Structure 1
Amino acid sequence: MAAPSSEMATESQPLLSENVGEMNTRKKTRNKLLILIVGAIFILAADSGFYLSVAPQTAIFEKIICRNYLEFLDSTNTTLPASDVADPCKSEAVQGELALITGYKDGFAVVPTILLSLPYGVLADHWGRKPVVYLGMLGIVLDELWTRLICLWSGVLPLRMVWLSALWKIIGGGDQVVTSVVCTMIADVVSENERSTALFTLMSWVFVADIVATPTSAYLMTFDPWIPWTLGYFIIVLGCIPFLFLPETLGDAKAKKSSSHRTDNTTQFTEPTRKMSSMQMVLYRLREFKESAQFIWKDTNVMWMIMISFVSMMSRQSTNILLQYASKRFGWSIAKASLLVTIRGSVGLTTCLVLMPGLNWLSGKYLNLHGKYRDHWLSKITGILSVVGFLLVGLAPTTALLIFGLVIVAMGGAFGVNTRSLATALVVPDHVGTLYSSFAISQSMGIFLAGPLFAYLFKWGLHLGNAWLGLPFLQAGLFFALATVAVWRIRVDQSLPGDDGEQEEEQEPLITESS
């Protein structure tokens, strides 16, 4: 009886192994789908909360500043200027202060990201993805709550205390760190071929939130701006809850790494890092980044691309002042001006889903442009569109021309995607991670500088007169002009280090994935 039993065990072993393999495959598929759904819910909720809040927050800030301004005039027995009698809240004093408060708030908000993105990235690799996401969500929720509490008690607390809301983002590093870790979790569980499609699908929900939430906010503001502002906060909180039920994906990332790197050199390199503390790991990563980033300073193309990233992010931030600009220049309510954001989002979504894929196909079929040559050409086109669009917005004498200019700006919004795809093709694959880290830092610096800069330009335009209110957008157009000139300076034919003549053939899949 022993022999048949032994034979039965031997014959059943492959069947058990196959069953275990199928169960593991089903589990991975289920986890992948769960992470994609939860990630989409979070992006949709976070951006819906933002777009529900941006217009009412501006309106509430304006109301508080206007009230304080009138109280100051009463206390000092100062007469309101004749030009401001019709609507004191649109006066130069009120609008200038509003621009400064909003600009500095936006600038300070990215300081934690600049300082802490690397440490939190290390912790995500050391602790796990979920703890960092939880910390980031807590920081975001407290940041949003702080701003609302300051406005609620604005009779006692100065409105400029909203600038301190950025301190809460020290917990987790802010929304950009959270978004980065969420994208990392998705990259952990999807294959290399699925990655770009998954991330693009995830980011498309930003446009959906823009299109749906902005008109909803405008409608609710007709009752009271506090309604959409409060609703936006609770939607952000609710969007964080599904993450409590997600599996940790750090194990998937380690499994990928161990399966793709099984050389002795890799073992010797990674083994000591397992025994490091979190602080030692941060210092180790800093040294590693410094050594690996040397190519940035030696490659002119890379330097141009980082400058382009910095400039384009600064210019994009000018749209934060769009509501105030349209409200002041054309006498619109903040709620009505917020509909411009919906127009921008609708055109942006159409550009990503229809226009850019169409241009990709046409450039390949009729111009025989592929890979980095196609990206270079499209970067030039979208750069020119951005310059023209911002100039039209800044100089628009009528609402029709303003809307037309905004449509052109939205069509040029693919400039960042095209230039990033081009940059990916201009460095060797081992340097792509370092290049993206450099982009993240340069973009955060652009946001930090753009908020105060455009606020002061708008305030200066208020002083010069109504025709000069578009100064922030004219400056944005100038920045994009510089970035577009830099694109023209890129040498696409420059050989990569270690190029053996077959690099171009192998580069195409990488470019496709990054775009």
Structure 2
Amino acid sequence: MRERSKYQEQHLLCMMSPGTERDAETPLIPPDYEDQMATRQNRIQIILRVYAVSFLFLLAMALIAAPQADIVENIICRHFQDPDLDLTKQPLDCKREAVQSELALVQGWGDSLIQIPGIFLALPYGIMADKCGRKPVFMLSFLGVLLSDTWVKIVCEFTSPPRSLGDLFPDIFPIRMVWAAPIMQVIGGGRAVSTLLTYTIIADVVRPAERTRWLMWLTAIDLMAFILGGAGGAVLMRRSSWDPLILSSFLLVLSMLSMMTIPETLPVEDKYSGEDREMGSLSSRPAIGASRASFRKLTASIRAIWTNPVIILLLVVFLLVRLTTESKSALLQYTSKRFRWEYSTVSAVRDTTLHTIMYL
């Protein structure tokens, strides 16, 4: 109501100005007012849907870390156990050095390899999003993450100690086969592309002056997802480490279905006119000349980035933030080994406390 009154007041002042032509049939409320309000409502609906998709996706990711580490540790521990050991008299010691070294190797290489698709494919998929639209590329990135996560769970299931399907198909995969999960993220480019497109879609539908506010809300919602994921995963792990993993798969599928409700936000003029100009300019040149021109343009763009001290400083800051984020799995394992805590306890203390402080 306040926005409407302000808009009407500005319109009335304009109508009462001396240079404005008006008659008895001139409406006091501008005819395009309802269209503008409808457009604003559509923008807010798109933003809220993006928030919901991001929340579900990151909630699923937050549920995975601790239970997956617990399952992998138990698998490795079973493989390192002495066959003559009587488990009724002496329980397995999964915190011994040999088990923790192998766990660190599996987790460390897995966390490193999963970054490769985003490093090499973020730019190509970004160009595709500018040409073909945000939504199809967004869906591809979610599909790649879902397939990658499903592969890790399949390997853990068919390598795990006797349990359900493991009774029928014991030890089909070695646990290091989880390193093949990044291959699935060639589809869509992985989390790097999905994160990029989340911010891009919001930037498409809001004015530049409002972007900071809406992106800050997105960050707050993401932190809330990590808080609930850490606490919820810890509670579910009290029953079984597989429960949060199953729930995470359901949330990933639900986030993909929610993504389907978001309309395409790529501006039509950017999709067609820019492409037509580019194709027209390239078609008037020989193929080799066009390739050289494209290469020179790419080189100039890279040079502009590396000669700008502000951009370099931001890249360094983002690198440090990323290193901190990726060290969480190592911190999870170290805390569990150092204090001999269950992973559910570590997850509850670490994720809930850390992200609550960041949220506040």
The TM-score by the shorter chain falls in which range? 0.7 to 0.9
Provide closer, same or farther for how the CA distance between residues 299 and 239 of structure 1 changes in structure 2, counting only shifts above 3 A.
closer
- Aligned ranges for residues 299-378 of structure 1 at < 5 Å? 299=308, 302-339=311-348, 340-350=350-360
Name the count of aligned residue pairs.
316
The amino acid that maps onto 2:334 is Y
Residue segments in structure 1 that go unaligned for 5+ positions in a row: 1-10, 259-266, 351-515
The amino acid that maps onto 2:182 is A
Tell me, yes or no, if structure 1 residue 45 matches structure 2 residue 50.
no
1:230-283 CA distance string (max 9 Å, x none): 11111121122122122111126739xx9xxxxxxxx9x875325579xx9999
Match of 1:32 among 37, 43, 65: 43
1:88-121 CA distance string (max 9 Å, x none): 2111111111111111111111111111111111
Q: CA deviation at 1:195?
A: 0.5
1:189-209 CA distance string (max 9 Å, x none): 100111111111112112101
Match of 1:170 among 167, 183, 186: 186
What SS class does the counterpart of residue 170 from structure 1 fall into? Answer: coil
Q: Who is 1:229 aligned against?
A: 245
Identity %: 31
- Aligned ranges for residues 492-511 of structure 1 at < 5 Å? none
1:166-202 CA distance string (max 9 Å, x none): 1111111111201211211111110011111111111
1:350-408 CA distance string (max 9 Å, x none): 1xxxxxxxxxxxxxxxxxxxxxxxxxxxxxxxxxxxxxxxxxxxxxxxxxxxxxxxxxx
**Contact in 2 for aligned 1:189/1:252 (Cα 8 Å):** no
**Contact in 1 for aligned 2:145/2:184 (Cα 8 Å):** yes
Provide closer, same or farther for how the CA distance between residues 305 and 131 of structure 1 changes in structure 2, counting only shifts above 3 A.
closer
For 2:338 and 2:110, how far apart are their aligned partners in 1? Answer: 23
**Contact in 2 for aligned 1:118/1:282 (Cα 8 Å):** no
**Contact in 2 for aligned 1:189/1:253 (Cα 8 Å):** no
**Contact in 1 for aligned 2:141/2:194 (Cα 8 Å):** yes
Q: CA deviation at 1:323?
A: 1.5
For 1:345 and 1:14, how far apart are their aligned partners in 2? Answer: 56
For 2:324 and 2:232, how far apart are their aligned partners in 1? Answer: 27
- Aligned ranges for residues 449-460 of structure 1 at < 5 Å? none
Q: CA deviation at 1:312?
A: 4.1
Q: Who is 1:196 aligned against?
A: 212
For 2:291 and 2:41, how far apart are their aligned partners in 1? Answer: 33
Residue segments in structure 2 that go unaligned for 5+ positions in a row: 1-22, 160-170
Q: CA deviation at 1:305?
A: 4.7
Q: CA deviation at 1:309?
A: 3.5
Q: Who is 1:147 aligned against?
A: 152
1:197-226 CA distance string (max 9 Å, x none): 111111211210122121111111111100
For 1:57 and 1:334, how far apart are their aligned partners in 2? Answer: 10
Provide closer, same or farther for how the CA distance between residues 32 and 282 of structure 1 changes in structure 2, counting only shifts above 3 A.
farther
Tell me, yes or no, if structure 1 residue 157 matches structure 2 residue 168.
no
1:135-169 CA distance string (max 9 Å, x none): 11111111111111111111110111111111111
Q: Who is 2:8 aligned against?
A: none
For 2:320 and 2:129, how far apart are their aligned partners in 1? Answer: 29
Q: CA deviation at 1:298?
A: 3.8
The amino acid that maps onto 1:37 is L
Larger RCO, structures 1/2 (Cα 8 Å, 6+ apart): 2
Q: Who is 2:303 aligned against?
A: 294
Task: Please report the TM-score for the alignment, with normalisation by the length of structure 1.
Answer: 0.56
Structure with greater proportional helix content: 1
Provide closer, same or farther for how the CA distance between residues 138 and 297 of structure 1 changes in structure 2, counting only shifts above 3 A.
closer
What SS class does the counterpart of residue 137 from structure 1 fall into? Answer: helix
Provide closer, same or farther for how the CA distance between residues 253 and 65 of structure 1 changes in structure 2, counting only shifts above 3 A.
farther
1:328-356 CA distance string (max 9 Å, x none): 00110111011211100000111xxxxxx
